[in-house]
Structure 1
């Protein structure tokens, strides 16, 4: 593209010079238009016009050098050639503008590709951690714990890969009938920890009419995060199961048939696992056991010790279910 652009610029320069020559011819022919009335010129020696009209050596030279022949150009012929030259120049200018635009676009794309490659190279060694948390009224103490542990968790995560870029996201959820169902902050880096802290500071534990919460909707929000790192972790902390009679033991549930929009939590978890996201669940009480047993495929309890800082987030009596582990 650069070579084509240079060639077009050279051609435009040549055309401009050619056009200048033809315009000079046009100016000379114009000075005798009233005498020639479109006839070939210079006028013959028998014409009675002014002497200066009989002396047109520059016009003869122009006609022969530009046309490549011995004949002389009439004004109409000269004007036609000038018009054609201008049309060629206009066409060339449009091609040149198009080439410059394409070349500029190509340069921008190359720059974007280079930046993307750099980001991907960094991401290969990165760690993405998404905290998913029930933020209804009963979860107030756990939200306060999360607020106080964010920095420690990010620092601990960086020990997984030396030099890795750690990013953290937060997905808070309430229930289907709540006016504000979700509190979502997409991934931020360690340098933006202050932004995450400020976000958490504004979250108020409220809502949740029945005993079950919108877990399925929360998982859908998690899938929509900008996952990029090679190591992807979800730490889900909740004290209530999702909607659907099969996920709990007679808990108060206004949606016993499950999520009204048709979301199925297991299917959403499978999508996360297919993306090589490791999902851990922080168990606060027994009300979530049936749900996590279904999620994991087999019942059981596993101490949540993925990160020392994450373990410190949860009191000693809190256990964890590992729902899926696919981290590289």
Structure 2
């Protein structure tokens, strides 16, 4: 007997189950692609459908959203690097884009912000100056204006409040957009860093600055924290010494370029800074 039971139509796919591109923090940006799937023997399958394994991310339409926070020591000795930053602020976006394009990386969104620091004990309320994120190139004039208003002065004794600046940078309002993200902190200082001391931190900053170095390390290493585990980068242009050497010895995703203590980073070339940022993306 023939089965006359109506055949039920195949269920439509649930839109919520369709896979989307991997999140930005799923893997390092420059991880090599896996091997292509075997090509079938059917003659009509064109070879052009196989993606070459060395195709750049830019050519595949992968866009980067890059946030950069500059932690800048603005104590009295820092005139050389501060002058260089001021001179290049308006052209910073173009310089970074040129560098990244040469590396085959397409940046769809680039934002920068500044945490300028001195010495909380010696300079009090003048020890920390923060900017919001500036979206480049649209807000390049505002970025240049903020940097242009920074003055190299104060600082008291040699160690400065650099670790507090790094803590504030870690707790930035990082972007959540883009195919791939990079969260880059760049520190410029020619002095070692004071140990973290909660008693020296103004009340309005205490919620964003850990009480000690272990707490700061936890904030950086926290895989569930505000920074993505594979998207974060820390670039140090700072001398070997307390604070900076402790960070480079323990933290992941850190590049330490030792500077000359007390030299105002006069030994650091602006092009080297731009290239270091390009390499971190």
1:199 aligned to 146, 166, 170, which one?
A: 146
Tell me what 1:137 maps to: 76
Tell me what 1:150 maps to: 89
Shift of 1:292: 2.8
Cα 1:278/1:315, change in 2 over 3 Å: same
Q: Which runs of 5+ in 2 are unaligned?
A: 1-61, 200-210, 259-264
Q: Could you tell me whether the CA contact under 8 Å between 1:235 and 1:282 is conserved in 2? A: yes
Alignment of 1:224 onto 2:174? no
Q: Could you tell me whether the CA contact under 8 Å between 2:90 and 2:141 is conserved in 1? A: no
Cα 1:143/1:131, change in 2 over 3 Å: same
Distance in 2 (alpha carbons) for counterparts of 1:212 and 1:268? 22
TM-score by length of 1: 0.46
Q: Which runs of 5+ in 1 are unaligned?
A: 1-122, 245-257, 305-310
Q: Could you tell me whether the CA contact under 8 Å between 2:235 and 2:255 is conserved in 1? A: no
Tell me what 1:106 maps to: none
Alignment of 1:314 onto 2:271? no
Distance in 2 (alpha carbons) for counterparts of 1:148 and 1:129? 18
Tell me what 2:118 maps to: 174
Cα 1:270/1:150, change in 2 over 3 Å: farther
Q: Could you tell me whether the CA contact under 8 Å between 2:115 and 2:169 is conserved in 1? A: yes
Distance in 2 (alpha carbons) for counterparts of 1:327 and 1:187? 19
Give the alignment of 1:68-147 within 5 angstroms: 125-147=64-86
TM-score by length of 2: 0.53
- Larger strand percent: 2
2:188 aligned to 226, 237, 248, which one?
A: 237
Q: Could you tell me whether the CA contact under 8 Å between 1:216 and 1:242 is conserved in 2? A: yes
Alignment of 1:266 onto 2:204? no
- Larger helix percent: 1
Distance in 2 (alpha carbons) for counterparts of 1:163 and 1:315? 24
Q: How many residues get paired?
A: 179
Shift of 1:134: 0.7
Distance in 1 (alpha carbons) for counterparts of 2:245 and 2:132? 28
Shift of 1:302: 5.8
Distance in 2 (alpha carbons) for counterparts of 1:182 and 1:237? 14
Distance in 1 (alpha carbons) for counterparts of 2:250 and 2:163? 20
Shift of 1:125: 2.4
Q: Could you tell me whether the CA contact under 8 Å between 1:276 and 1:327 is conserved in 2? A: no
Deviations 1:137-187 (A, max 9, x none): 111221111111223332233353325121111110111121312111121
Tell me what 1:183 maps to: 129
Cα 1:148/1:269, change in 2 over 3 Å: farther
Choose 1 or 2 for highest CA Rg.
Answer: 1
Tell me what 2:235 maps to: 280
Please provide the CA RMSD for this pair: 3.7
Q: Could you tell me whether the CA contact under 8 Å between 1:154 and 1:167 is conserved in 2? A: no
Give the alignment of 1:9-28 within 5 angstroms: none
